């Protein structure tokens, strides 16, 4: 393609993005003279260059727009919404023609006469300015002189106009305001492919550095070791530098949102104000590209489904104008992007109805889901809440695509919806994909890398502490980490073919490989989503910078791996996908199981409402259960340890007093009368007399910042269960009854029991969150 045309395309595309922003600004504040001037200049340049290149239609459109703008500038007209709409249409028309120029070097066969007519009509009757071809302000002579082209180009604001990336540190906002030549002088255009290539090379250099570092560790030659140190430092700096060149402020994709929001709001007859915060937050270019579409989708969703029409808003006591806020900020080595609207929120019941209608869940499954889980159903493939397909949303690109795209780059999405008040979608995005710090570990003789961002801490258990530390409750291993039960996943087992993800149940037989040996047990504590779990590995090595390489398509289906890397010794190591691993091991339960939508799989083995619960038997023979997440510990106390204080029973436990509740009695009791204390607290002869030798089994319940001991007859099992059927509670203190292992099992509502029990003994909870 002609170099002049190429330059023109790049320039104009960048300017168009700015035009969108400027026009929306002007619509809000017509007195912004500086912005008006900029819009005028941009269109003027387009017109001039189009004329120079012989693109007559483009020139005519730009000319009509320029005439209108010149009247605005002269104050003969006031900027108003119809003008804004017309000018935005001009931007679109220019864009269409530019695309055609890029394809065929002509401005295409589109008919823009209606638009020109509209523009002309908007002008007050005034003499038409000079004919399109020659304008006084156009600097270039009509004959094609190559050197004239750079002259007519205004310094460009940095933006993501493909295919180049403008390297400048200033944010979009700054650059938009200061169009001083200084910026153009200090930045140069670099082809993105070149940057990609540089990045790959730096990746290789990091690998070579790692290799030589490993080698130098065994050397005593001081000058050599020193040189390696220097090489190490330089490589690190070079890597940081090259990575920085690929960083772009998120504002580059946000800049189009004011326009998108405006158009959409107009189309939906809604009023929406958009706030952008943290536009200067920088992300790697590949990540920016990857989140562009999901973000647009979410913004559209928020306006189309979230924000209510003005009348409805007024009726609900809200301001007529809806607010949409986009925030970006750094948190814990990741970038958080929040899209918040003050609209109607997401109605869990509506989601439920839709999901059932779309056969994504059965009514029975849906009944068991909490409202938060229900809201998360919108991430399932094939889900659309739009009652009718509008121009803007409900056209198949669902939230599942949003989630898939975000997860593909190692991010995560969550929704927080408050019906009637609004909804917030929160995305966690890694800063960069190419080179990450990672911990290397060994399992079953192979090395694996674990991205440092998921890493919380390392625990090493030796000798006696190992014996005590890991408890095998019916084959489900847990570790007590500072008072919390940490579910354990044995990596070797999780990666064995016979424990494929399809088989959700944990193996209950056989000793753990890690237990056989006398060696220490290494636990890597990881964060997956909002859950923590411990990964048991054979050995833990260093952390080092690794270069992430994607897996080829033959291995793409493996959710346990995020990619592969080449280690210092030249061998390949797989990078563990912590989230995928957690899902495969069922540490993360519930709706995240996408298998939910696969009806065939559901028929064979219903997944879906899976959760890990502790089963226990009461002295009256009934079965009870509480979610394992509420269990801090399981304890056995000799009956001699029981102490009485008045009517209460308690044990001394870790230098504190642990009040005890007899579950069977708590459930049996009537609602407490005004003066009556419940007898569930009370020790009775029964409890001390029977089988005096046996220790009592206590489930230490932890919730709302306190602990109580639930006395049960015996612990039965820890199971990961799909609750097959569920009926409402028929007595106080029970949330619902479900069938587990073929037996009716009552799910305790411990908070309810506590509240209904002696309020003097235990402070009432601030919040009650005991969702099954």
Partner 1 sequence: MTVADSHQYCTFYVDGHYFGLDVLRVQEVIRFQQMTRVPLASPVVRGLINLRGQIVTAIDLRRRLELSDRPAEQLPLNVVIQTDDGAVSLLVDEIGDVLVVPANLFERAPETLHGPARELICGAYKLPDCLLLILDTDRTVNVTGCGHLQHAKDA
Exactly one of 230, 508, 571, 654 binds partner 1 (CB under 8 A); that residue is 571
| Shortest separation between residue 570's beta carbon and partner 1, angstroms | 6
For partner 1, give the closer residue by CB, 507 or 549: 549
Site size for partner 1 (CB under 8 A)? 28
Q: 250, 335, 574, 754: which one contacts partner 1 (CB under 8 A)?
A: 574
Residue of 235, 244, 192 lying closest to 213 (CA atoms): 235
Residues in the chain: 772
Is 570 near partner 1 (CB under 8 A)? yes
Nearest distance in Å: CB 564, partner 1: 5
Binding residue for partner 1, selected from 355, 360, 495, 536, defined by CB under 8 A? 495
Closest approach, Cβ 231 to partner 1, in A, equals 18
Specify the stretch interacting with partner 1 by CB under 8 A; choose among 186-194, 572-580, 589-597, 759-767: 572-580
What is the closest distance, in whole angstroms, from the C-beta atom of residue 409 to partner 1 in the complex? 19
What's the rounded Cα separation, in Å, for the pair 390 and 680?
58
Question: CA-to-CA distance for 249 and 468, rounded, in angstroms?
Answer: 51
Q: Are 202 and 239 in contact (CB under 8 A)?
A: yes
For residue 414, the cross-strand partners are 426
| 223-252 residues near partner 1, rule: CB under 8 A | none
Closer to partner 1 at the Cβ: 319 or 500?
500
Instruction: Tell me the window of 77-85, 336-344, 498-506, 510-518 that interacts with partner 1 (CB under 8 A).
Output: 498-506
Output the six-digit token pair for 130: 């000079």
CB of 199 to partner 1, least distance (A): 13
Four-point Cα dihedral 283, 288, 291, 297, nearest 10: 120
How far is Cα 58 from Cα 322, in angstroms, rounded to an integer? 37
CA distances from 65 to 41, 93, 256, 276 (A): 11, 11, 21, 29
Span from 8-16, 325-333, 419-427, 495-503 in contact with partner 1 (CB under 8 A): 495-503
* Contact between 600 and partner 1 per CB under 8 A: no
Residue 21 or 206: the one with the smaller Cβ distance to partner 1 is 206
Neighbours of 292 (CB within 10 A): 15
**What angle separates helix 33-53 from helix 81-104, to the nearest 10 degrees?**
30
Token couple for 421 = 């008040």
In sequence order, the 6+-apart residues with CB closer than 8 A to the CB of 27 are: 79, 80, 81, 84, 262
Nearer to partner 1, 498 or 760 (CB): 498
User: Are 308 and 316 spatial neighbours (Cβ–Cβ below 8 Å)?
Assistant: yes
Among the listed ranges 97-105, 492-500, 524-532, 712-720, the one in contact with partner 1 (CB under 8 A) is 492-500
Contact letters for partner 1, residues 145-184 (x by CB under 8 A): ----------------------------------------
Q: Give the residue with the Cβ less far from partner 1, 364 or 446.
A: 446
CB closer to partner 1, 52 vs 561: 561
Q: Which is nearer to partner 1, 204 or 462 (CB)?
A: 204
User: What is the phi/psi pair of residue 723, to 5°?
Assistant: -80, 110
Applying CB under 8 A, does 193 fall inside the site for partner 1? no
Minimal distance, residue 562 CB to partner 1, in Å: 13
Neighbouring C-beta atoms of residue 580, cutoff 10 Å? 18
Among 6, 226, 359, 496, binds partner 1 (CB under 8 A): 496
Of the pair 267, 572, the CB lying nearest partner 1 is at: 572
Distance between CA 200 and CA 202 in Å, rounded?
5
> What would the x/- binding string for partner 1 be over residues 528 to 567, using CB under 8 A?
---------------------x-xxxxx--x-xx--xxx-
**Which residues have a Cβ under 8 Å from the Cβ of 86 and sit 6 or more positions away?**
65, 68, 115, 118, 119, 122
* Structural tokens at position 492: 């070797």
Binding to partner 1 (CB under 8 A) within 268-327 occurs at none
We find the least distance from the C-beta atom of residue 566 to partner 1, in angstroms, to be 5
Q: Residue 304 carries which DSSP code?
A: I
The verdict on 601 binding partner 1 (CB under 8 A) reads: no
Q: How far is the CB of 725 from partner 1 (least distance, A)?
A: 33
Instruction: Using the minimum distance from each CB to partner 1, give the nearer residue, 558 or 704.
Output: 558
In whole angstroms, the minimum distance from the beta carbon of 557 to partner 1 comes to 8
Instruction: Give the span between the Cα atoms of 743 and 737, in whole angstroms.
Output: 10
Helix (H) / strand (E) element for 745: namely: strand 743-748
- Cα atoms found within 13 Å of the Cα of residue 681, Cβ hemisphere only: 22
DSSP strands (E only) in 101-203:
164-166, 189-191
* DSSP conformation class of 389: -
Instruction: Report phi then psi at 735, rounded to 5.
Output: -80, -50
Report the nearest approach of partner 1 to the CB of residue 555 (Å).
5
Strands 561-566 and 539-547 turn out to be unpaired
Out of 188, 539, 572, 647, the only residue in the binding site for partner 1 (CB under 8 A) is 572
Give the DSSP H or E segment for 699: strand 696-703
Tracing tokens 């409890």 back to the chain, one arrives at 687
Q: How many CB atoms lie within 10 A of CB 496?
A: 13
498 lies in the site for partner 1, by CB under 8 A: yes
Q: What is the distance, to the nearest Å, from the Cα of residue 246 to the centroid of all Cα atoms in its chain?
A: 22
508 binds partner 1 (CB under 8 A): no
Q: Are the CB atoms for 494 and 506 separated by under 8 Å? A: no
Residue 435 or 753 with smaller CB distance to partner 1 = 435
Per rule CB under 8 A, is residue 198 in the interface with partner 1?
no
114 binds partner 1 (CB under 8 A): no
The yes or no reply on residue 102 touching partner 1 (CB under 8 A) is: no
Kindly state the smallest distance separating residue 447's Cβ from partner 1, in Å. Answer: 8
Q: How far is the CB of 363 from partner 1 (least distance, A)?
A: 33
Residues numbered 427 to 456 that lie near partner 1 (CB under 8 A) are 444, 446-447
Q: Quote the crossing angle between the two packed helices 399-408 and 285-301, to the nearest 10°.
A: 160
Residue 705: half-sphere exposure toward Cβ, Cα within 13 Å? 6
- 351 vs 567, which CB is nearer to partner 1? 567
By C-beta, is 198 or 356 nearer to partner 1? 198
Minimum CB separation of residue 466 from partner 1 in Å reads 25
In this chain, which stretch among 83-91, 384-392, 493-501, 507-515 interacts with partner 1, using CB under 8 A?
493-501
Minimum distance between the CB of residue 501 and partner 1, rounded to whole angstroms?
8
Q: Is 342 helix (H, G, I), strand (E, B) or coil?
A: coil
- Do residues 649 and 643 touch, judged by C-beta distance below 8 A? yes
Is 591 one of the binding residues for partner 1 (CB under 8 A)? no
**204, 237, 457, 636: residue in contact with partner 1 (rule CB under 8 A):** 204
Cα separation, 144 vs 140, in Å, equals 8
Tokens 């937050």, located at residue: 281
Q: Does 207 sit near partner 1 (CB under 8 A)?
A: yes
Least distance between partner 1 and beta carbon 291 (Å) = 24
CB 532 within 8 A of CB 479: no
- 501 lies in the binding site for partner 1 (CB under 8 A): yes
Interacting positions 331-350 with partner 1 (CB under 8 A): none
d(CA 360, CA 705): 37
**Considering the complex, what minimum distance in angstroms separates the CB of residue 568 from partner 1?**
12
Please report how close the Cβ of residue 552 comes to partner 1 at its closest, in angstroms: 5
420: its two tokens: 């009637």
Taking the least distance from each CB to partner 1, the nearer of 284 and 492 is 492
Binding site for partner 1 (CB under 8 A): 204, 207, 444, 446-447, 495-498, 500-501, 549, 551-555, 558, 560-561, 564-566, 570-574
């Amino acid at each position: 393609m002609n170099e002049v045309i190429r330059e023109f395309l790049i320039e104009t595309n960048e300017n168009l993005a700015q035009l969108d922003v400027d026009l929306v600004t002007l619509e809000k504040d017509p007195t912004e003279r500086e912005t008006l001037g900029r819009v005028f200049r941009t269109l003027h340049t387009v017109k001039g260059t189009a004329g120079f290149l012989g693109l007559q239609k483009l020139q005519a459109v730009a000319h009509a727009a320029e005439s209108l703008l010149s009247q605005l500038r002269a104050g003969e007209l006031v900027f108003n919404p119809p003008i804004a709409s017309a000018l935005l249409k001009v931007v679109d028309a220019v864009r269409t023609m530019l695309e055609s120029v890029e394809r065929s070097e002509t401005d295409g066969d589109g008919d823009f006469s209606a638009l020109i007519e509209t523009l002309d009509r908007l002008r007050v009757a005034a003499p038409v300015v000079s004919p399109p071809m020659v304008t006084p302000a156009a600097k270039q002579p009509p004959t094609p002189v190559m050197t004239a082209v750079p002259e007519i180009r205004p310094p460009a604001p940095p933006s993501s106009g493909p295919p180049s990336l403008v390297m400048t540190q200033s944010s979009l906002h700054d650059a938009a305001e200061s169009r001083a030549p200084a910026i153009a002088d200090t930045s140069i255009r670099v082809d993105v492919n070149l940057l990609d290539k540089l990045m790959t090379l730096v990746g290789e250099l990091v690998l070579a550095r790692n290799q030589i570092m490993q080698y130098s560790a065994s050397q005593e030659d001081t000058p050599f070791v020193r040189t390696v140190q220097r090489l190490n430092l330089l490589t690190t700096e070079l890597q940081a530098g090259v990575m920085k060149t690929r960083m772009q402020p998120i504002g580059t994709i946000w800049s189009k949102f004011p326009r998108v929001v405006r158009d959409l709001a107009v189309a939906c007859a809604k009023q929406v104000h958009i706030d952008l915060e943290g536009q200067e937050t920088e992300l790697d270019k590949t990540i920016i590209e990857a989140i562009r579409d999901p973000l647009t989708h979410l913004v559209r969703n928020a306006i189309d489904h979230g924000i209510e029409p003005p009348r409805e808003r007024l009726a609900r006591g809200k301001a007529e104008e809806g607010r949409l806020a986009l925030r970006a900020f750094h948190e814990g080595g990741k970038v958080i992007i929040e899209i918040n609207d003050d609209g109607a929120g997401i109605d869990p019941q509506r989601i439920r109805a839709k999901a059932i209608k779309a056969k994504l869940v059965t009514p029975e499954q849906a009944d068991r889901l909490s409202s938060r889980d229900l809201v998360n159903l919108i991430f399932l493939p094939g889900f659309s809440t739009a009652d009718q397909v509008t121009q803007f949303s409900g056209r198949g690109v669902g939230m599942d695509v949003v989630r898939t795209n975000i997860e593909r780059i190692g991010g995560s999405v969550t929704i927080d919806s408050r019906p009637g008040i609004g909804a917030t979608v929160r995305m966690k995005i890694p800063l960069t994909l190419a080179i990450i710090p990672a911990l290397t570990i060994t399992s079953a003789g192979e090395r694996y890398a674990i991205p440092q961002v998921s890493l919380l801490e390392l625990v090493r258990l030796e000798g006696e502490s190992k014996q005590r530390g890991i408890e095998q409750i019916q084959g489900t291993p847990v570790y007590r980490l500072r008072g919390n039960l940490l579910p354990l996943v044995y990596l070797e087992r999780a990666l064995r073919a016979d424990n494929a993800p399809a088989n959700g149940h944990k193996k209950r037989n056989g000793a753990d490989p890690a237990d056989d040996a006398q060696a220490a047990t290494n636990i890597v504590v990881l964060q997956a989503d909002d859950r923590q779990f411990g990964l048991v590995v054979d050995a833990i090595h260093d952390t080092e910078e690794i270069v992430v390489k994607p897996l080829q398509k033959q291995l793409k289906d493996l959710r346990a791996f995020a990619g592969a890397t080449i280690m210092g010794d030249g061998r390949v190591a797989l990078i563990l996908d912590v989230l995928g691993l957690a899902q495969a091991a069922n540490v993360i339960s519930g709706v995240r199981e996408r298998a939910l939508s696969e009806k065939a799989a559901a028929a064979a083995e219903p997944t879906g409402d899976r959760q890990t619960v502790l089963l226990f038997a009461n002295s009256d023979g009934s079965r009870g259960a509480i979610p394992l997440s509420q269990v801090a510990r399981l304890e056995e106390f000799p009956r001699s340890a029981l102490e009485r204080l008045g009517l209460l029973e308690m044990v001394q436990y870790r230098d504190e007093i642990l009040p005890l509740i007899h579950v069977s009695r708590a459930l049996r009791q009537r609602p407490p009368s005004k003066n009556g204390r419940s007898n569930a607290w009370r020790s009775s002869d029964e409890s001390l007399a029977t089988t005096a030798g046996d220790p009592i089994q206590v489930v230490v319940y932890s919730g709302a910042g306190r602990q109580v001991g639930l006395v049960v007859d015996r612990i039965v099992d820890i199971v990961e269960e799909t609750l097959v059927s569920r009926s409402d509670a028929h007595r106080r203190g029970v949330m619902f009854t479900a069938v587990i292992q073929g037996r009716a099992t009552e799910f305790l509502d411990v908070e309810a029991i506590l509240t209904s029990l002696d309020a003097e003994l235990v402070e009432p909870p601030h919040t009650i969150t005991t969702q099954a």
